[in-house]
Amino acid sequence: MLSPWLQIWLEAGREGQVFTYANPLDLPVGIGDLVQVRLQGRLHSGLVVDGLRQPPEELRGRRLLPVEAILQSAAVDGTWQSLITAVAGHCHTSVFKTLKSALPPGWLGQRRASRTGAPRPIWVVEPVRPVGGDERLTERLTERQRALLSHLESAAAPVPLRELCGRAGFSRSVVQALEGRGLLRRRAARPGGEGGCSGEPLEAPQPLTPAQAQAIQALETAGPGQSFLLWGVTGAGKTEVYLQAAARHLAAGRSSLLLTPEIGLIPQLLDRCRRRFGAAVVEYHSGLSEGERVAAWRRCLEGEPLVAVGTRSAVFLPLGQPGLIVLDEEHDTSYKQESPMPCYHAREVARLRAEQTGAVLLLGSATPALETWLACHTTGPRQTTLLRLRERIGGRPLPPVRLVDMRQELAAGHRRLLSRPLMTRLQGLQERGEQAVVLVPRRGYRTFLSCRSCGEAVLCPHCDVALTVHRSGSQEWLRCHWCDHRAEMQTRCGHCGSTAFKPFGAGTQRVMEQLGEELEGLRVLRFDRDTTRGRDGHRRLLERFAAGDADVLVGTQMLAKGMDLPRVTLAAVLAADGLLHRPDLRASEQCLQLLLQLAGRAGRGERPGEVLVQTYSPDHPVIRHLVDGRYDRFLASELELRRHGGLVPFSRACLLRFSGPQASRTATAAAAVAELLRPAVEAAGWWLIGPAPAPVARVAGRSRWQLLLHGPAEPDPSQSPCLPLPPETILRQTLPSGVGLAIDPDPI
């Protein structure tokens, strides 16, 4: 039934508001459609939330504007809408903000006139025969280039570029090189034809190990909405379980959602999925353009069973019949959205979706989060079934962890960044055809500069943090890792006028330099946010390393995550201490997770691996648990500490973050909100802590304050939290202009 008047949700100011429009007779507009309308002369896209038989009282007799176009019919259905409502409630924010955050970027809100929504062309690649069979052109090709050409030659039709660089595993640089030589050509695919899947046979699943078979069996017989933790060291075959479980759902006509915390892990997972499921795979992450994200969303709406691979925001993909939701590396904090609101955790959203749709939730990790592990040992609404893969595939042992006590290195007069044991191990690497990964907690050249006379560090003018020294060749400059401010190298101290500075702390660039100086001939690549920019940055760098372009990969935290590099036999941590001593409730847990993940990089191939940890605190409990390799023992002791201290997850926290251009105004606003909340908070048996300046009290010129609410753990966490807080909009009204607020109901 078509209603003559429509209630449409539009963006107005920072929030959403419902406006009434006329339903034109020539457009079949329905609830859940995404439509284009005009608001104050501007084009907007909005969501139809209701149909009316009569216009609202106050609008009677007025001519209402009509809907101009349907951008997507049935963009949102009832189940999905109730997911959004539940997430909004849990995150203490509005449904509109949650919708805007969940839908593809740019879909809801004011529209730029140029955005047509037309799909981007699909590029295909075809070989070009050298003119007159000129053999010289093909003589000097690399092996990879030859392989690519013969791949194209043997294909029945032009091969889509996406597939060539995805499933077929060629890098873009190989394509570009051949294109440059005129040996291949790319063009837009003809609409309707080509561009799909290249009829290549799909890869067969591996025969399961007994432990994997047991896990699959448990998943097959799971009840609707049941959750599982698949706990297995890296290389134990977890991904194979995800793939085979997804295959079963696909065969039964149901979709699967495979989430990974980092965009850097997408290529590997995507390639494995494409080899297994071909064209049934759809990807969704921030590396895609807005148009591509919309296209992926639309494909899900079409309702065919799919395997969707993506990062955090993909948890909202509107898959028709989800049978399985997987969170790989479920402990990873990248699953938590910090800003903007809603501050949701993809694990919690996935749990809600599983409950709503009857899908099975599968959390995978080598180092499960404390909360997840606890859920395996308690009964209640979050009860999770534990599945274990105790051994690596092929029975390969986990690499032993060796400590290098840097105090002893100092005592022996060795004051270098690279300890002697590390040097010894790196020396033979190249000869043996092996590789190493080296973790350095910070990127850049030097962590900070301080004045030799007065000891003050050189700070960012916009943030309360020290500037990092970066270097390229002999050029040095300063950069802020928080706001990206760049400045020339300082020549005079802003405090005392002295011209002498002392650099402290080594970043990835400095470690590269030291390795080059001390070990001649060693080839080193750097893997951090500076070297992996762009859409294929991660993939390109890893491909070069895997192809043997370097012996050592030096990188930040992102190095530790999920990569499968069979020639790596050594994983080293240069300054473990920088990771150990952080003033954070989860510091120990996160540090051990990171170190164990890094350890998992070594010895994945034929040759055994080894882990080397340089530290000044070899007796630190985290280091002891790392050497001992018993993560479950760590969890048990950590759980007791938290229980004893009444900390999360034995209590609940909620953080209110305030930010504003002036410190005094921001602080006053935070204090006013604290006083406003105090009676209700205390009546509910909660505590109010603060307001206090945030750990980094100024970022990008905005001062930051916070207010912490602390309360008893919820009896039923699947329910909306019983936070003693008024709605966000009410709180916002009490704030002076310019002061922002974010509510994080489960801060990490």
239 contributes a contact to ligand ADP by CB under 6 A: yes
Determine, following the binding rule CB under 6 A, whether residue 539 of this chain makes contact with ligand ADP: no
Helices 587-599, 631-645: axis angle to 10 degrees equals: 170
- The one of Zn ion, ligand ADP, none whose footprint includes residue 541, by CB under 5 to 8 A per kind, is none
Nearer to ligand ADP, 393 or 483 (CB): 393
For the window 384-423, what string marks contact with ligand ADP as x by the rule CB under 6 A?
Answer: ---------x------------------------------
Beta-carbon contacts of 573 under 8 Å, excluding residues fewer than 6 positions away, are 438, 439, 579, 595, 598, 611, 612, 613, 614, 615
List the single partner that 454 binds among Zn ion, ligand ADP, none, CB under 5 to 8 Å by kind.
Answer: Zn ion
Interaction partner, residue 209 (Zn ion, ligand ADP, none; CB < 5-8 Å by kind): ligand ADP
Partner from Zn ion, ligand ADP, none contacting 240, C-beta within 5 to 8 A by type: ligand ADP
CA angle 433, 437, 438 (to 5 degrees): 135
Query: In this structure, are residues 403 and 382 in contact, taking their beta carbons and an 8 Å threshold?
Result: no
The DSSP code for 264 is G
Residue with tokens 């996935």, as numbered in its chain: 350
Candidate segments 205-213, 497-505, 619-627, 640-648, binder of ligand ADP by CB under 6 A: 205-213
Element (H, E) at 352: helix 346-357
Chain residues 37-76 in contact with ligand ADP, contact rule CB under 6 A = none
Asked whether position 235 contacts ligand ADP by CB under 6 A, the answer is yes
Centroid of chain to Cα 677: 34
- Grouping H, G, I as helix, E, B as strand and the rest as coil, residue 480 is coil
Binds 239, which of ligand ADP, Zn ion, none (CB < 5 to 8 A, cut-off by type)?
A: ligand ADP
Question: Which of Zn ion, ligand ADP, none does residue 480 bind to, with CB < 5 to 8 Å depending on kind?
Answer: Zn ion
CA angle 586, 378, 222 (to 5 degrees): 110
Residue 235 touches which of ligand ADP, Zn ion, none (CB < 5 to 8 A by kind)? Answer: ligand ADP
Give the H/E segment covering residue 126: strand 123-127
Neighbours of 628 (CB within 10 A): 11
Residue 208: name its binding partner from Zn ion, ligand ADP, none (Cβ under 5 to 8 Å by kind): ligand ADP
Residue 546 interacts with ligand ADP (CB under 6 A): yes or no: no
Sign, Cα dihedral of 21, 26, 27, 29:
positive
- The nearer residue to ligand ADP, 605 or 745, going by C-beta atoms, is 605
Measured from the CB atom, is 174 or 697 closer to Zn ion? 697
Query: How far is 317 from 328, CA to CA, in rounded Å?
Result: 17
Q: Rounded to the nearest whole angstrom, what is the least distance from the CB of residue 330 to ligand ADP in the complex?
A: 12
Distance CA 586, CA 573 (A): 20
Q: How far is the CB of 546 from ligand ADP (least distance, A)?
A: 13
240 belongs to the binding site for ligand ADP (CB under 6 A)? yes
| Gap between the Cα atoms of 710 and 500, Å rounded | 47
Least distance (Å) between residue 328 CB and ligand ADP:
7
The answer to whether residues 409 and 419 touch, using CB atoms and an 8 Å cutoff, is yes
* Residue 562 DSSP class: S
Could you tell which of Zn ion, ligand ADP, none binds residue 451, using a CB distance below 5 to 8 A set by kind?
Answer: Zn ion
A 10 A CB-CB count for 474 gives 5
**Residue for token pair 């216009």:** 55
In Å, what is the CA distance from 37 to each residue of 21, 43, 108, 110?
A: 8, 6, 11, 10
Dist CA 46 CA 18 (whole Å): 9
Nearer to ligand ADP, 35 or 611 (CB): 611
The structure tokens listed for 322 are 């989800």
Is 485 or 710 the residue whose CB approaches Zn ion more closely?
Answer: 485
Least CB distance to ligand ADP at residue 308 (A):
18
214 vs 490, beta carbon nearer Zn ion: 490
- Per-residue tokens: 446: 């030097």
Q: Which of 208, 218, 489, 565 binds ligand ADP (CB under 6 A)?
A: 208
Query: With respect to ligand ADP, which residue has the nearer C-beta, 366 or 622?
Result: 366
460 binds, among ligand ADP, Zn ion, none (CB under 5 to 8 A by kind): Zn ion
Q: Report the alpha-carbon distance of residue 423 to residue 430 in Å, rounded.
A: 13
Sign of CA dihedral 107, 110, 116, 120: negative
By CB under 6 A, tell whether 236 contacts ligand ADP.
yes
Residue 463's binding partner out of Zn ion, ligand ADP, none, with CB under 5 to 8 Å set by partner kind: Zn ion
Alpha-helical regions (H) of 547-647: 577-580, 587-599, 621-628, 631-645
Beta-carbon-side half-sphere exposure of residue 221 (alpha carbons within 13 Å): 6
Segment interacting with ligand ADP, rule: CB under 6 A, options 35-43, 143-151, 200-208, 449-457 = 200-208
- Does position 212 interact with ligand ADP (CB under 6 A)? The reply is yes
- Residue closer to ligand ADP by CB (options 269, 580) is 269
Residue with Cβ nearer ligand ADP (238 or 274):
238
Report which residue type is found at 410: L
Applying CB under 6 A, which part among 34-42, 189-197, 208-216, 610-618 lies near ligand ADP? 208-216
Strands 740-744 and 651-660: antiparallel
Sole window of 206-214, 279-287, 347-355, 632-640 interacting with ligand ADP (rule: CB under 6 A): 206-214
Closer by beta carbon to Zn ion, 485 or else 607: 485
CA distance 748 to 745: 10
Considering the complex, what minimum distance in angstroms separates the CB of residue 532 from ligand ADP? 21
Helices 621-628 and 631-645 cross at an angle (nearest 10°) of 150
* Interacting residues toward Zn ion by CB under 5 A: 451, 453-454, 460, 462-463, 480, 482-483, 485, 493, 495-496, 498
Q: If contact means CB under 5 to 8 A according to the sort of partner, which of ligand ADP, Zn ion, none does residue 495 touch?
A: Zn ion
Per the structure block, which two tokens stand in for 530?
A: 């500076």
Q: Which one of Zn ion, ligand ADP, none interacts with residue 554, CB within 5 to 8 A by kind?
A: none
Q: How far is CA 408 from CA 427, 440, 514, 617, in A?
A: 21, 20, 20, 11
- Identify which range of 203-211, 279-287, 482-490, 647-655 contacts ligand ADP by CB under 6 A: 203-211
232 binds ligand ADP (CB under 6 A): yes
Site string for ligand ADP, 351-390 (x = CB under 6 A): ----------------------------------------
Q: What is the smallest separation between the CB atom of 322 and ligand ADP, expressed in angstroms?
A: 21
Report the candidate in 688, 689, 691 with the shortest Cα–Cα distance to residue 666: 691
**Rounded Cα distance, 235 and 601, in Å:** 9
Q: What is the DSSP letter of 314?
A: G
List the one residue from 23, 98, 234, 590 that touches ligand ADP (CB under 6 A). Answer: 234
CB of 241 to ligand ADP, least distance (A): 7
By the criterion CB under 6 A, which residues form the site for ligand ADP?
206-209, 212, 232, 234-240, 393
